[in-house]
Amino acid sequence: MSNKEIYTKPAAIKDIQTHYCPGCGHGIVHKLIAEAIDELGVREDTIAVAPVGCSVIAYEYFDFDMSEAAHGRAPAVATGIKRACPDKFVFAYQGDGDLASIGMGEIIHAANRGENYTTIFINNTIYGMTGGQMAPTTLIGQKTATTMDGRNQATTGNPIRMCEIMNVLDAPVLIQRTSVHNPANVIKTKRAIKKAFEYQLAGKGFTFVEVLSTCPTYWKMSPKAAMDHIGSVVKEVYPIDTFRDIGEA
């Protein structure tokens, strides 16, 4: 059996070599997004928004229209695009340093308004593109370029849990946290992403999927150790769960 018969590349993703570090979860999530878009038949109507951070490289890989946004401003750009072109399928692809830090105000108000677009939120507990600094999601005790002795609760506070924050708002119709640290959770992540996309296409409102991912480079771990770290440590701080799903109601 040939490789082509084993796996067919989604049409929504380009056939180019990845720039992501070995073991990074971004490539996995890209594939899942592309598969969902192909299955829903919306590639020609898709407009994605990627802001500053490792997520910005997404426009190199997806084979559909994309708009770059300033750091943290993807929700504002996605809102504008969706309101101006309500017939288009729109999603924002954001990292934790981007969404939960400089973009916190943007995402909270877009969600609170119930804007009819989808946010895919990649949480790898660190700033990746800019050198491995502490992010709002960094775990207590986690060593980063700016917390060399580990994050200290007394001086830098606690990790921010975005799904839990989103869940106090009335408007969102889907709030779900998933992971890509093993095959079973990759499958669940694909289902969550596709459901979020389906809800948007049905005009049901704001959908939010948080994906626990890896950063082997700045976690200073091997790819396998980083995946295991999600399963043994990260998901204890960020429980994998569906916090809200009212789209079917």
2 has pLDDT over 60? no
Its pTM stands at 0.95
pLDDT of residue 5: 60
80 has pLDDT over 70? yes
Residues 94-122: pLDDT tens digits? 999 999 999 999 999 999 999 999 999 99
pLDDT of residue 136: 96
Residues 196-240: pLDDT tens digits? 999 999 999 999 999 999 999 999 999 999 999 999 999 999 999
Residues 3-41: pLDDT tens digits? 556 678 899 999 999 889 999 999 999 999 999 999 999
pLDDT of residue 245: 98
The beta-carbon contacts of 166-170 under 8 Å, at least 24 apart in sequence, are: 166/111, 166/208, 166/243, 166/244, 167/243, 167/244, 169/108, 169/111, 169/112, 170/112
pLDDT of residue 1: 46
pLDDT of residue 74: 97
Domains and CATH numbers, the chain: 8-245 (3.40.50.970)
Adjacency order of strands within the sheet including 89-95: 65-68, 46-50, 89-95, 118-123, 207-212, 174-179, 241-245
Give the mean model confidence (pLDDT) for residues 138-165: 97
Instruction: Assess contact for 135 and 100: CB atoms under 8 A.
Output: yes
% residues pLDDT > 70 (the chain): 97
